[in-house]
Structure 1
Amino acid sequence: MTDVPTFRYHPDPVATGEVITSDDPCRCCGRRQGFIYTGPVYSAEEVVEELCLWCIADGSAATLFEAEFTDVVNVPDDVPQPILTEVLTRTPGFSSWQQERWMFHCADAAAYLGKVGYEELVVVPEALEMLREENAPFPWSDEQREAYLRTLTPTGEATAYLFRCLHCGTHLTYADHA
Structure 2
Amino acid sequence: MSVDLPSFRYHPDPVASGSFRASTEVCACCGRATGWIYTASFYTAQDVSGRFCPWCIADGSAAARFEGEFTDAYGLDGVSAEILEQVTRRTPGFSAWQDPHWLVHCGDAAAFIGEVGHAELARHPDALDGLRTELRLSGWHDEGQLETFLTNLGVGATAMLFRCTECGAHLAYADAS
Look up the match of 1:132.
132
Look up the match of 1:170.
169
Residues 139 and 3 of structure 1, relative CA distance in 2, 3 Å threshold: closer
What is the DSSP-based 3-state SS (H/G/I as helix, E as strand, rest coil) of the residue aligned with 1:159? strand
- CA deviation string 1:53-105 (max 9, x = no partner): 0000000000110010001224333x111000000000000111111110011
Q: Quick check: 1:160–1:175 contact (8 Å CA) kept in 2?
A: yes
Residues 49 and 141 of structure 1, relative CA distance in 2, 3 Å threshold: farther
Structure 2 gaps, min length 5: none
Residues 139 and 111 of structure 1, relative CA distance in 2, 3 Å threshold: closer
Query: What is the one-letter code of the residue matched to 1:158?
Result: A
1:139 shift after superposition: 4.3
What is the DSSP-based 3-state SS (H/G/I as helix, E as strand, rest coil) of the residue aligned with 1:163? strand
Matched, 1:113 2:120: no
CA RMSD in angstroms comes to: 1.3
Residues 121 and 139 of structure 1, relative CA distance in 2, 3 Å threshold: closer
Q: Quick check: 1:26–1:51 contact (8 Å CA) kept in 2?
A: yes
Look up the match of 1:26.
27
Residues 125 and 46 of structure 1, relative CA distance in 2, 3 Å threshold: farther
Residues 135 and 5 of structure 1, relative CA distance in 2, 3 Å threshold: same
**TM value normalised by structure 1:** 0.94
User: Percent identity over the alignment?
Assistant: 51
Residues 81 and 119 of structure 1, relative CA distance in 2, 3 Å threshold: same
Residues 82 and 139 of structure 1, relative CA distance in 2, 3 Å threshold: closer
Aligned length: 175
Look up the match of 2:36.
35
Query: What is the one-letter code of the residue matched to 1:103?
Result: L
Look up the match of 1:86.
86
Alpha-carbon distance in 2 for matches of 1:122, 1:48: 41
Structure 1 gaps, min length 5: none
Query: What is the one-letter code of the residue matched to 1:50?
Result: R
Q: Quick check: 1:22–1:35 contact (8 Å CA) kept in 2?
A: yes
What is the DSSP-based 3-state SS (H/G/I as helix, E as strand, rest coil) of the residue aligned with 1:31? coil
Look up the match of 1:151.
152
Alpha-carbon distance in 1 for matches of 2:51, 2:136: 41
What is the DSSP-based 3-state SS (H/G/I as helix, E as strand, rest coil) of the residue aligned with 2:175? strand
Look up the match of 2:68.
67
Alpha-carbon distance in 2 for matches of 1:149, 1:46: 39
- CA deviation string 1:107-140 (max 9, x = no partner): 1111000000100011100100111111113244
Q: Quick check: 2:75–2:102 contact (8 Å CA) kept in 1?
A: no
1:49 shift after superposition: 5.3
Look up the match of 2:54.
53
Residues 171 and 100 of structure 1, relative CA distance in 2, 3 Å threshold: same
